[in-house]
Structure 1
Amino acid sequence: MKILIVYAHPEPRSLSGSLKEFAVDHLQRAGHQVQVSDLYAMQWKAQLDAADTLAPLVGAHYDATQDSRFAFDNQMQPADITAEQEKLRWADMVIFQFPLWWFSMPAIMKGWFDRVYANGFAYGVGEHNDRHWGDRYGEGNLTGKRAMLVVTTGGWESHYSPRGINGPIDDLLFPIQHGMLFYPGFSVLPPLVFYRVQKSAQARFNGWCDALAARLDTLADAEPIAFRRQNGGDYEIPALTLKDEFAAGESGFGVHVVRNSGDVSR
């Protein structure tokens, strides 16, 4: 497989850095091709702004949607954005590795999504009509590729349990996995989360590497999260609300995941 690791941590000697190096070595030994986008080492520009188009502005002032689209369509994006888009086109599998900071990814990685996910590349594709509302949520330019999160956090696993004080980890990661990965078409594998990483990290490192290796060895055939496809018949269009016959009487993030074979349109 061709595997891209998008990595965000400011300290190369951190646990995250060691896990990333282990992953690269393990994957290469298994015969995979690996590229790494180390965002801090690259000094990645996080903010999306008018500097992200090399073309004159479409209107009287900068509009992120319009100017992103014009730059993408006319090959007038900055070189760093184009390079990351080419890596995504190249990759069969993308691993996003980051520490959980304030219940989300570091700002530098969020900025990678803001800038690389240009209009016309990751969104704004496909026609809109009364049966099909754009190519997204299971469709799009990244369809056929897989993605997975590798996350480290200082909190206990119980803190992120269904009744934990921090909220369920699946809910915290939902905007990333569903909204940033499934939206443009990725098949999203269940995340690998390492808890309490600031406690006895050295003593537990080998076990974490074993867990990481086990996941890396199944990237090609692991079952992805069964998110509902937007245009598959489960949602009312154009309202994009889940039809009443699915997860009746329920709400929340969980209703957007298929639970069994009878819980989806045929």
Structure 2
Amino acid sequence: MKVLIVHAHPEPTSYNAAMTRQAVQTLQSLGHKVVVSDLYRMGFDPVSDRRNFLGQVDPARLKMQAEELHATATAGFAADVQEQIDRLLECDLLILQFPIWWLGMPAILKGWIDRVFACGMAYGGGRYFSTGTLSGKRAMCALTLGGPREVYSADGLYDEVEQILFPIHRGIFGFTGCTVLEPFAVYGPNRMDEEARRAELARYAHHLEHLDAARILPMPQ
């Protein structure tokens, strides 16, 4: 299996970085090929505009979908975008690794989605959900949250984590045809002692070792 981990945290000693290292170690030990796109380390540009393309269909007005369709048909994406597109198309499993900031993903990760999930490549032509362009791939979120588990519940300050991740699960993964796996969340790692943090990494390794048993989130047909 080919795995692409898109890592979105600026600090190399962060718990998110520890989770990515654990994922690489675990998956490689199982014989899988793992590629990591470490967005901050790469200096990935999250701004989606004409810089995405080598040429242009309409110099007078930027219509992103038209330009993306043209670039898909003519191999016309900029090198940094094409590299990530190639990694996405080659993978069997996509893992987004990130912290929840303001109940969403970091801007650099949203920018990666904006630039890489291009029309004509990731969606378009009436292909979506069960007939989506990325059908056959699996996708999941691995993430940290700043607060304890009880605040991320139906009765807490926020909602269940799967509700928070709905735009990603339904609007990105599901829409493009991916099989959406249940997320793996660590609540408040900065509030834990070292033993508890190690235990969560072990729990993550066990989860990755048994991905075939992971719950699949229902999507529209």
Q: TM-score range by the shorter chain?
A: over 0.9
Of 154, 159, 176 in structure 2, the residue corresponding to residue 162 of structure 1 is: 154
CA distance in 1 between counterparts of 2:137 and 2:98 reads 20
Q: What's the C-alpha RMSD, in Å, of the aligned pairs? A: 1.3
Matches within 5 A, 1:110-149: 110-125=110-125, 134-149=126-141
Alignment match, 1:183: 175
Q: Secondary structure at the match of 1:121?
A: coil
Please list the CA deviations of residues 35-79 of structure 1 after superposition, one character each: whole Å capped at 9, or x if unmatched. Answer: 101111111110101111111342522111211221221111001
- The corresponding residue for 1:224 is 216
Q: Choose 1 or 2 for highest CA Rg.
A: 1
Q: Who is 1:5 aligned against?
A: 5
Provide structure 1 residue ranges, at least 5 long, that are not aligned to the other structure. Answer: 126-133, 230-266
Change (3 A) 1:140 1:201: farther
Give the number of aligned pairs: 221
Once the two structures are TM-superposed, the CA of residue 95 in structure 1 deviates from its matched residue by 0.8
Matching residue's letter, 1:90? E
With normalisation by structure 2, the TM-score equals: 0.95
| Paired residue type of 2:199 | G
CA shift, 1:156, in A, is 1.4
Instruction: Name the SS for the 1:162 alignment partner.
Output: coil
Write out aligned runs for 1:30-69 (5 A).
30-58=30-58, 60-69=60-69
Q: Which amino acid is 1:56 matched to?
A: Q
Structure 2 alignment gaps of length 5 or more = none
| Separation (CA, whole Å) in 2 of partners of 1:226 and 1:172 | 16
CA-CA distance at 1:224 after TM superposition:
1.2
State the 1:220 CA deviation: 3.5
**1-structure distance, mates of 2:214, 2:15:** 25
Q: Secondary structure at the match of 1:40?
A: helix
Contact 1:15 1:201 (C-alpha < 8 Å) held by counterparts: no
What is the CA–CA distance in structure 2 between the aligned matches of 1:168 and 1:220, rounded to whole Å? 23
Residue matched to 1:211: 203
Q: Deviations over 1:99-149 (max 9, x none)?
A: 000101100000000000111011223xxxxxxxx2112222210010111
Q: 1:257 matched to which residue of 2?
A: none
Q: How does 1:187-206 map to 2 (within 5 A)?
A: 187-206=179-198
Inter-partner Cα distance in structure 1 for 2:89 and 2:112: 15
Q: Work out the CA distance in 2 between the residues paired with 1:164 and 1:76.
A: 47
TM-score by length of 1: 0.80
Deviation at 1:20, TM superposition (A): 0.9
The one-letter amino acid paired with 1:139 is: T
Match for 1:76: what amino acid? G
Residue 171 in structure 1 maps to residue 169 in structure 2: no
Which of structures 1 and 2 has the larger relative contact order (alpha carbons within 8 angstroms, sep 6+)?
2
Question: Where does residue 82 of structure 1 map in the other structure?
Answer: 82
- Is contact 2:189-2:197 (8 Å) kept? no
1:221, distance to aligned residue in structure 2 (A): 4.4
